[in-house]
Structure 1
Amino acid sequence: MEQIKETALRLQPYVDAMTALCIGGRYADYHIQNPSRSYSKRSNIRKTLKLWEIENETNLKDALAWLTSHGLRKEFAELSGMLSVLSVENRARHIEETDDPIQKHKLSVIAQYLGRLPAGGIAAYDYSWAVFICCAAHKINYMTEQDKWDHIDRFVGLAKESYSEWNDYMAGFAIGAVYSFGHKRSGYVADNQRVFAKLMFSRLSPFRKVRLS
C-alpha cells in the first residue's frame, strides 16, 4: 500500500497534465483545474469508455494493448510514409481520388501537417487517452489500483521517450484529435486555441508542475 502511494505521488502530476487535453470545449477549464471531476459520474465514464469499445475488463485489456503497441500513431505513420514519397501534385491527386470520406479526411490531415509534426508524431493522443482510460476504468472497478498505476507508469514512460516538452506533446495530441475525429471536427484546433494557450502559459497549468525531460 505504501508503494502504491509513492507511485501515485510520483505519477499524478503526469496524469493531470496528460489528461488535461482529453476534455475540450467549454468545460475544459473546469476539468483542467479539477481533474478528479472528470471521473465523478459513473454514467459519463461508461459512455466515454464505450466510445473506445470498452464495456468490460476484456475490452479494457484489448484496448490498452492496442494503445501500447499500435494506437492511431501506427496507421498515421504508415500513411505519412506513403504520402511522403509522392510529389505534391501526385499527393493531391491521390487524396482527391480517394472515395472513402473518412480515409480522405485522414490523408488530408496528414498532408496538411507533413514535415511539421514533432518527432513523436501523434503518439500523445494515444498516450493521453490511455492514461484517461486507466483512471476511468479504475473508477468503475475494471482494474485494481495497482494495475492502474502500473499501466500509467508505462504510458508516462512512453510519452517521455517520445517528447521532450509539453508544447510538442500538445501539438501531437491536437493533430491526433483532428485525425481521429473526422471531417466533422476538423476545426478542433481552432476551437480549442484558448484552452491550449492556457495550458501553455497559465501559472496554474498542470504543464507547469512537471517536466517531460
Structure 2
Amino acid sequence: MVIRTAKFVASYPSVQKCPKTDLPEYAFIGRSNVGKSSLINMLTCTKALAKVSQTPGKTQLINYYLINDEWHLVDLPGYGYAKVSKSEREKFSDIVLNYILKRENLHLLFVLVDSRLEPQEIDIQFINWLGMNQVPFALIFTKTDKVSSTVLEQNIELHKKELLKTWEELPPFFTTSCVTRTGREDVLNYIDSVFQEAKITHCQV
C-alpha cells in the first residue's frame, strides 16, 4: 500500500461523537507509552501527524486520521499506567471498550506490545478480552531497534506460548521499529489486504 495523503481529522471524546461515515477504520491501541504515535508517524511518513509524548497516558481522546481519502487510521487512548486520576482511567477504559464493541466501521484493531518486555498481564488480559468478544486484531511488537534479535525472538516466543494457553490459533503479528522503519510495508500491506477483502465482500452482499 502506498500512502499518498494523510491528514488529521479531529479528536472525539466518545464513540457516539465519532464521524458519521462509511469509511473503514483501522485502530491502534496499546499500553501507555508503547509508541503508538511514533508508529503512526512512521507508517504515514509524516513526522508530526501524531503528537509524540514521553508522558504515559497522553492520548486521552479518539484521534482520527484520513488516509488516501479512503480509510481512517484511529489512535485510541492507551491502557494501563497513566498519571491521571482513577476516575479518568476508568473513563479512558469506557472510551476504548465502547469504541471497540460498538463502532461498526472498525475493520481491524492493532494491539501494540513493547518488544523489550516479556508478556505483561495487562496485555494478555486485553488480548483475551478481544478474543472473547470476537474482535479482529493483529499484534505489533514495537521498538525492536532497542533490543537484540535474540531477546526479540525470546520475547515473541514467550508471548506465543502465553497466548496458546487460551488460543487455538495465534493472531497475525508484526515487528516494527520507528527508527529503522522495520515492518512498515508489512503492516501497510496487511491493512491493504483486509481493505481489499472487505471491498469484495461488500460488493457480493
Q: Shared fold by TM > 0.5? A: no
| TM-score class, shorter | under 0.3
- Greater gyration radius: 1
* TM-score normalised over the length of structure 1: 0.25
* TM-score normalised over the length of structure 2: 0.25
